[in-house]
Amino acid sequence: MKIYSSDKSELMQVAKIERDGNDLVIKGKVFGTMPMSARLKPAEARAAFKLLTPSLIFFLITLPFRKG
């Protein structure tokens, strides 16, 4: 999976998402070369849910079915 910046350049290439205890670990490369491992802790995941609105939740559910 690739994540792009606002100018359409590749920001991060996610290679693996895995669980490590209660954390979610996202592994990949930033800017195509620099390896990175990011951790999402449960408290931060709960904070992310507070940012979701009903229209955004609907968009996220339908996102995999949209044309790219």
1: closest CA among 35, 36, 27?
27
Residue spans of beta strands (DSSP E) within 1-68: 2-4, 10-20, 23-30, 34-40
Alpha carbon distance 46, 55 (integer Å)? 18
Alpha-carbon distances, residue 6 vs 9, 11, 53 (angstroms):
7, 9, 22
pLDDT, position 42: 96
Query: pTM for this structure?
Result: 0.76
pLDDT along the chain (68 residues), means of 10: 92 95 96 93 95 95 92
Q: How many helices (H) and strands (E) does the chain have?
A: 2, 4
